[in-house]
Chain A
Amino acid sequence: MLPTFTYVKPTTLEHAVRELATPGARACSGGTDLLGCLRDRVLKADKLVSLNGLAELRGISELPNGGLRIGALSTLSEIASHTLITTRYHALSAAAGAAASPQLRNQGTIGGNLCQRPRCWYYRGDFPCARKGGDTCFAKEGENQLHAIFGGDVCVMVHPSDTAPALTALDASVRLVGPRGSRTVALDAFFVLPSKDYTRETVVEPDELVADIVLPPPPAAALSTYRKLRSRGAWDFALTGAAVALGMHGKKVERARIVLSGVAPVPWRVELAERELVGHELSEALIERVAQRASEHASPLSANAYKVALVRGAVAEALSELRAKG
Chain B
Amino acid sequence: MREPNIYGSDTLDAELAPQFAPATSDLPPWGKTTVVGAAVPRIDGHDRVGGTAIYTRDIALPGMLHCAIVHSPHAHAMVKRIDTTAAKAMPGVHAIITCDSPEAKIPWILTNQGAFSQLLDPHCRYEGEEVAAIAAETPLQAADAARMIVVEYDVLPMVVNYEVATKPDAPKLHAVGNQPSPARTSQRGDVEAAFAKADAVVERTFHTSCEMHVPLEVHGSVAQWDSGKLEVWDSTQGVYAVRDSLALALKLPLSSVRVSSHFMGGGFGGKLELGKYTVFAAVLARMTGRAVKCVLTREDTLRSVGNRPANTISIKAAARKDGTLLALDATLLGASGAYPTGATSSYMLLDLYTCANVRAVESSVLINAGQARAFRAPGYPQAAWALEQVMDELAGKLGMDPVEFRLKNIPVVSQLRSGQPYTSTGLADCLRDGAEKFGWAAARKRPANKGHVKRGIGIAAGMWGSPGGPTATVILKLYADGSANVNSGAADIGTGTKTIFAQVVAEELGVPVERVSVENADTGTTQYAPSSGGSQTVLVTTPAVRSAAADVKTPLLALAAEELKIDVDKLTIRDGNIEIAGDTKKVPFSALRSLAQRQQLVGVGRRAPHPVGKVGLPFAAHFAEVEVNTRTGEVRVVRYVAAQDSGRVMNALTFENQVLGGVTMGIGFGLTEQRVLDRQTGKLASGSWHDYKIPTAMDFPVDFQCVPIDLQDKECNSVGAKGLGEPATIPAAAAIANAVCNAIGARIYDAPITPASIVNALASKGGK
Interface of A with B (CB < 8 Å)?
Answer: 1, 101, 119, 121-122, 124-127, 138, 141-143, 145, 229, 231-237, 239, 303-304, 306, 309-310, 312-314, 316-317
Q: Which residues of B contact A303 (CB under 8 A)?
A: 756
Q: Is B683 an interface residue (CB 8 A)?
A: yes
- Measured CB to CB, the closest approach of chain B to A31, in angstroms, equals 16
Q: Which residues of A contact B683 (CB under 8 A)?
A: 125-127
* Contacts A121-B685, A233-B696; A314 near B680 (Cβ below 8 A): no
Bound complex: CA of A301 vs CA of B676, how far in Å?
Answer: 17
Q: Are A142 and B679 in contact (CB under 8 A)?
A: yes
* Contacts A119-B690, A142-B679; A316 near B140 (Cβ below 8 A): no
Bound complex: CA of A203 vs CA of B670, how far in Å?
Answer: 42
Q: Are A142 and B678 in contact (CB under 8 A)?
A: yes
* Contacts A124-B688, A233-B698; A1 near B633 (Cβ below 8 A): no
Q: Which single member of B140, B687, B698 contacts A125 (CB below 8 Å)?
A: B687
- Measured CB to CB, the closest approach of chain B to A127, in angstroms, equals 7
* Contacts A121-B685, A127-B683, A143-B678; A313 near B629 (Cβ below 8 A): yes
* Contacts A127-B681, A138-B678, A145-B756; A232 near B687 (Cβ below 8 A): no
Q: Are A231 and B693 in contact (CB under 8 A)?
A: yes
* Contacts A119-B690, A143-B679, A306-B756; A126 near B631 (Cβ below 8 A): no
Bound complex: CA of A50 vs CA of B629, how far in Å?
Answer: 43
Q: Which of B28-44 contact A (CB under 8 A)?
A: none
Q: Are B143 and A1 in contact (CB under 8 A)?
A: yes
Bound complex: CA of A232 vs CA of B143, how far in Å?
Answer: 34
Q: Which single member of B631, B671, B680 contacts A142 (CB below 8 Å)?
A: B680
Q: Are B139 and A125 in contact (CB under 8 A)?
A: no
Q: Are B676 and A310 in contact (CB under 8 A)?
A: no
- Measured CB to CB, the closest approach of chain A to B125, in angstroms, equals 17
Q: Which residues of B contact A122 (CB under 8 A)?
A: 678, 685
Interface of B with A (CB < 8 Å)?
Answer: 73, 139-140, 143, 629, 631-634, 636, 671-672, 676-681, 683-688, 690-691, 693, 695-699, 754-756, 759-760, 762-763
Bound complex: CA of A258 vs CA of B629, how far in Å?
Answer: 21
- The 28 sampled A-B contact pairs (Cβ below 8 Å) are A1-B143, A101-B696, A121-B676, A121-B688, A121-B691, A124-B687, A124-B688, A124-B690, A126-B687, A127-B678, A142-B685, A143-B679, A143-B685, A231-B755, A232-B671, A233-B636, A233-B696, A234-B696, A234-B699, A236-B690, A237-B690, A306-B755, A309-B759, A309-B762, A310-B755, A312-B631, A313-B631, A313-B759
Bound complex: CA of A127 vs CA of B671, how far in Å?
Answer: 27
Q: Which residues of A contact B677 (CB under 8 A)?
A: 143
Most buried by A among B671, B756, B763: B756
- Measured CB to CB, the closest approach of chain A to B229, in angstroms, equals 33
Bound complex: CA of A226 vs CA of B73, how far in Å?
Answer: 40
Bound complex: CA of A122 vs CA of B687, how far in Å?
Answer: 10
Q: Are B754 and A231 in contact (CB under 8 A)?
A: yes
Bound complex: CA of A316 vs CA of B697, how far in Å?
Answer: 27
Q: Which residue of A lies closest to B636 (CB)?
A: A233
Bound complex: CA of A143 vs CA of B676, how far in Å?
Answer: 8
Q: Which residues of A contact B632 (CB under 8 A)?
A: 229, 310, 313-314, 317
Q: Are A126 and B73 in contact (CB under 8 A)?
A: yes
Bound complex: CA of A310 vs CA of B630, how far in Å?
Answer: 10
Q: Which residue of A lies closest to B632 (CB)?
A: A313
Q: Are B693 and A1 in contact (CB under 8 A)?
A: no
Bound complex: CA of A231 vs CA of B140, how far in Å?
Answer: 36
* Contacts A121-B685, A235-B696, A309-B763; A317 near B631 (Cβ below 8 A): yes
Bound complex: CA of A143 vs CA of B432, how far in Å?
Answer: 44
- Measured CB to CB, the closest approach of chain B to A74, in angstroms, equals 24
Determine the main DSSP class of A at the interface with B: loop
Q: Which single member of A125, A232, A306, A310 contacts B684 (CB below 8 Å)?
A: A125
Q: Are A310 and B633 in contact (CB under 8 A)?
A: yes
Bound complex: CA of A222 vs CA of B631, how far in Å?
Answer: 25
Beyond contacts A125-B685, A125-B687, A313-B632: 20 other A-B pairs, Cβ-Cβ < 8 A, are A119-B690, A124-B690, A126-B73, A126-B687, A127-B678, A138-B680, A142-B685, A229-B634, A229-B755, A231-B671, A231-B672, A231-B754, A231-B755, A232-B699, A233-B696, A233-B698, A306-B755, A306-B756, A309-B633, A310-B759
Q: Which residues of A contact B763 (CB under 8 A)?
A: 309
Bound complex: CA of A126 vs CA of B760, how far in Å?
Answer: 31
Q: Which residue of A lies closest to B757 (CB)?
A: A306
* Contacts A138-B680, A143-B678, A143-B679; A229 near B695 (Cβ below 8 A): no
Bound complex: CA of A143 vs CA of B73, how far in Å?
Answer: 18
Bound complex: CA of A18 vs CA of B295, how far in Å?
Answer: 41
Q: Which residue of B lies closest to A303 (CB)?
A: B756
Bound complex: CA of A131 vs CA of B291, how far in Å?
Answer: 43
Q: Which residues of A contact B629 (CB under 8 A)?
A: 313, 317
Bound complex: CA of A237 vs CA of B679, how far in Å?
Answer: 23
Q: Which residues of A contact B695 (CB under 8 A)?
A: 232-233
Bound complex: CA of A122 vs CA of B684, how far in Å?
Answer: 9
Bound complex: CA of A41 vs CA of B8, how far in Å?
Answer: 42
Bound complex: CA of A154 vs CA of B683, how far in Å?
Answer: 21
Q: Are A313 and B633 in contact (CB under 8 A)?
A: yes
Q: Which residue of A lies closest to B451 (CB)?
A: A320
Q: Are B678 and A316 in contact (CB under 8 A)?
A: no
Q: Are B687 and A306 in contact (CB under 8 A)?
A: no
Q: Are B693 and A236 in contact (CB under 8 A)?
A: yes
Most buried by B among A127, A141, A229, A233: A233
Most buried by B among A127, A231, A314: A231
List 7 A-B pairs, minimum CB-CB distance, nearest first: A233-B698, A313-B631, A313-B632, A306-B756, A309-B759, A234-B698, A121-B685
* Contacts A1-B143, A121-B686, A127-B678; A232 near B698 (Cβ below 8 A): yes
Q: Which residue of B lies closest to A160 (CB)?
A: B690
Bound complex: CA of A306 vs CA of B759, how far in Å?
Answer: 6
Q: Are B631 and A316 in contact (CB under 8 A)?
A: yes
- Measured CB to CB, the closest approach of chain A to B609, in angstroms, equals 46
- Measured CB to CB, the closest approach of chain B to A134, in angstroms, equals 12
Q: Which residues of A contact B631 (CB under 8 A)?
A: 312-313, 316-317
Q: Which residues of B contact A233 (CB under 8 A)?
A: 636, 695-699
- Measured CB to CB, the closest approach of chain B to A38, in angstroms, equals 14
Q: Which residues of A contact B681 (CB under 8 A)?
A: 127, 138
- Measured CB to CB, the closest approach of chain A to B693, in angstroms, equals 5
* Contacts A122-B685, A127-B683; A234 near B697 (Cβ below 8 A): yes
Q: Which residues of A contact B688 (CB under 8 A)?
A: 121, 124
Bound complex: CA of A124 vs CA of B678, how far in Å?
Answer: 13
Q: Which residues of B contact A313 (CB under 8 A)?
A: 629, 631-633, 759
Q: Are A121 and B687 in contact (CB under 8 A)?
A: yes
Q: Which residues of A contact B676 (CB under 8 A)?
A: 121, 143
Bound complex: CA of A306 vs CA of B268, how far in Å?
Answer: 33
- Measured CB to CB, the closest approach of chain B to A149, in angstroms, equals 12
Q: Which residue of A lies closest to B691 (CB)?
A: A121
Bound complex: CA of A231 vs CA of B143, how far in Å?
Answer: 34
Q: Which residue of B lies closest to A3 (CB)?
A: B144
- Measured CB to CB, the closest approach of chain B to A91, in angstroms, equals 17
Bound complex: CA of A316 vs CA of B634, how far in Å?
Answer: 14
